[in-house]
């Protein structure tokens, strides 16, 4: 007997049913990226539900420009939903956001680390609580405007870098788990440039087509971290000493929270023979430790809380040859991962990096493809 092809045709989101019968929750920040995703899917005939998270004080947010999830952005997301004819909901996640993201951000800075709250927001709020809300709304999947790609591999969905390396957001999404990846979709990851996204926004007649990209951390006005920390943790800006690596006092500082590892400008200790950089922060002693540029070089990076996305378990090998990013703005560099457990490892950078800081992420990439193999958090450096 001839074989009959019983396979069900997959829709553009990789699901085996027509778009009209496929419910998609779109996480809408009010910016052009997520707005285009929602409009695109609505035009394709999907059952779109837009959801925007109110993450911090709505009243204060009204005057805040250049950040997601603020008052104006909620209004913009609602306008897109009205124009494209799909429902839109605003969920109050202020308490969740404060507990899961803002408090840790403040405490990490006070401990001398350089936190990345956008990663924690994706991990603990958007891809956890919001994803569960999407399931409760009987959604078949959740779509976002992130520039990253989800590709099907022999063992299931894989996370890959965006087609446009200048927009790639893989550094901020390394903690996406396989279970989350099964439910998530990233419709913009294959686009060659941001101009394509804006062209689509214009095509759909969206009012946000020319809206500027968000630049700041949403709850940090004008990038002024110190002022936010002072409000959250009174007394955090107590002054102290600037010392060299031998403990000699070189000057005074106006609070450890005003300094970051690798900083050279604004130290106020001129007149020395060679330029000095912040090489370590000691919050308990209220000291800023400075040294020559070569003191910033780091070869061995301890990493924990690892989310591993490889096909075999992380600790199934003694060593993995990968590329890693230790900062979002730096290109991946060759490295070796030596697992200590399933969630902890020592990463050796084949070429030392400067300014590696606790609190930053260390993200792993496959050297032979665009695949992201996971990542973890830098908890110390030497």
How confident is the model over 117-155, as pLDDT tens digits? 999 999 999 999 999 999 999 999 999 999 999 999 999
CA–CA dist 62, 90 (Å, integer): 15
Active-site residue identified among 121, 141, 161, 362 = 121
Give the pLDDT of residue 4. Answer: 40
Question: How far is CA 317 from its chain centroid?
Answer: 28
pTM, two decimal places: 0.89
Query: Is there a single domain that holds both residue 137 and residue 281?
Result: no
Query: Band of the pLDDT at 231, cuts 50, 70, 90?
Result: confident
Structure-token pair, residue 324: 């890693």
Of 291, 311, 337, at which residue does a domain stop? 291
**Catalytic (active site) residue 118:** no
Number of domains making up the chain: 3
Q: 141-143 and 23-27 as β-strands: parallel, antiparallel, unpaired?
A: parallel
Helix (H) or strand (E) holding 281, with range, is strand 277-282
Query: Is there a single domain that holds both residue 46 and residue 184?
Result: yes
Q: Residue 73: which of 200, 212, 222, 168 has the closest Cα?
A: 212
**Catalytic (active site) residue 161:** no
Query: Is there a single domain that holds both residue 268 and residue 136?
Result: no
CA–CA dist 86, 37 (Å, integer): 13
Is residue 63 scored above 60 in pLDDT?
no
Query: Band of the pLDDT at 59, cuts 50, 70, 90?
Result: very low
Active-site residue identified among 68, 69, 118, 218 = 218
Q: Is residue 227 part of a domain?
A: no
Query: Is there a single domain that holds both residue 304 and residue 284?
Result: no
Query: Is there a single domain that holds both residue 38 and residue 65?
Result: yes
Q: What is the mean pLDDT of residues 326-350?
A: 95
Q: Is residue 243 part of a domain?
A: yes
Query: Is there a single domain that holds both residue 146 and residue 248?
Result: no
Q: What is the mean pLDDT of residues 163-189?
A: 96
Instruction: Compute, in degrees rounded to 10, the torsion defined by CA atoms 115, 147, 207, 66.
Output: 20
Query: Is there a single domain that holds both residue 277 and residue 320?
Result: no
25 vs 358, residue with greater confidence: 25
Angle between the 32-43 and 194-203 helix axes, to the nearest 10 degrees? 50
Q: What is the pLDDT of residues 2-56, one digit of tens each?
A: 444 445 789 999 999 999 999 999 999 999 999 999 999 999 999 999 999 988 7
- What is the CATH number for 373? 2.40.30.10
Query: Is there a single domain that holds both residue 146 and residue 287?
Result: no
Q: Which domain holds residue 354?
A: 297-378
Query: Is there a single domain that holds both residue 152 and residue 265?
Result: no
Query: Is there a single domain that holds both residue 166 and residue 287?
Result: no
Mean pLDDT lowest among 96-100, 173-177, 365-369: 96-100
Structure-token pair, residue 30: 């009010």
């Amino acid at each position: 007997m001839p074989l009959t092809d019983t396979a069900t045709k997959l829709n553009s989101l990789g699901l085996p049913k027509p778009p009209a019968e496929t419910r998609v929750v779109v996480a809408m920040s009010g910016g052009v990226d997520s707005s285009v995703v929602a409009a695109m899917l609505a035009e394709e005939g999907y059952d779109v539900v837009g959801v925007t998270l109110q993450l911090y004080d709505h009243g204060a947010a009204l005057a805040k420009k250049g950040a997601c999830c603020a008052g104006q952005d909620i209004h913009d997301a609602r306008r897109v939903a009205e124009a494209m004819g799909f429902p839109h909901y605003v969920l109050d996640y202020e308490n969740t956001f404060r507990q899961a993201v803002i408090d840790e951000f403040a405490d990490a800075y006070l401990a001398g680390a350089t936190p990345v709250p956008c990663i924690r927001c994706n991990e603990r709020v958007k891809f956890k609580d919001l994803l569960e809300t999407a399931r409760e709304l009987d959604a078949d999947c959740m779509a976002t405007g992130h520039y990253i790609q989800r590709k099907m591999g022999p063992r299931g969905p894989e996370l890959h870098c965006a087609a446009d390396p200048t927009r790639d957001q893989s550094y901020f999404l390394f903690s996406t788990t396989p279970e989350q990846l099964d439910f998530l979709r990233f419709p913009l990851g294959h686009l060659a440039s941001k101009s394509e996204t804006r062209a689509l926004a214009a095509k759909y007649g969206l009012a946000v087509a020319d809206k500027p990209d968000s630049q700041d951390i949403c709850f940090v006005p004008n990038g002024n971290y110190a002022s936010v920390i002072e409000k959250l943790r009174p007394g955090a800006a107590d002054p102290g000493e600037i010392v060299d690596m031998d403990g000699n006092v070189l000057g005074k500082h106006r609070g450890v929270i005003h300094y970051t590892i690798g900083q050279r400008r604004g130290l106020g200790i001129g007149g020395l023979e060679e330029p000095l950089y912040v090489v370590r922060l000691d919050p308990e002693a209220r000291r800023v430790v400075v040294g020559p540029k070569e003191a910033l070089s780091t070869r061995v990076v301890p990493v924990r809380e690892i989310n591993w996305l490889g096909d075999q378990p992380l600790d199934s090998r003694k060593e993995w040859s990968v590329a890693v990013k230790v900062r979002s703005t730096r290109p991946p560099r060759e490295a070796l991962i030596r697992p200590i457990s399933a969630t902890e490892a020592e990463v050796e950078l084949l070429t030392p990096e400067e300014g590696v800081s606790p609190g930053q992420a260390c993200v792993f990439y496959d050297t032979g493809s665009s695949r992201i193999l996971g990542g973890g958090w830098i908890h110390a450096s030497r």
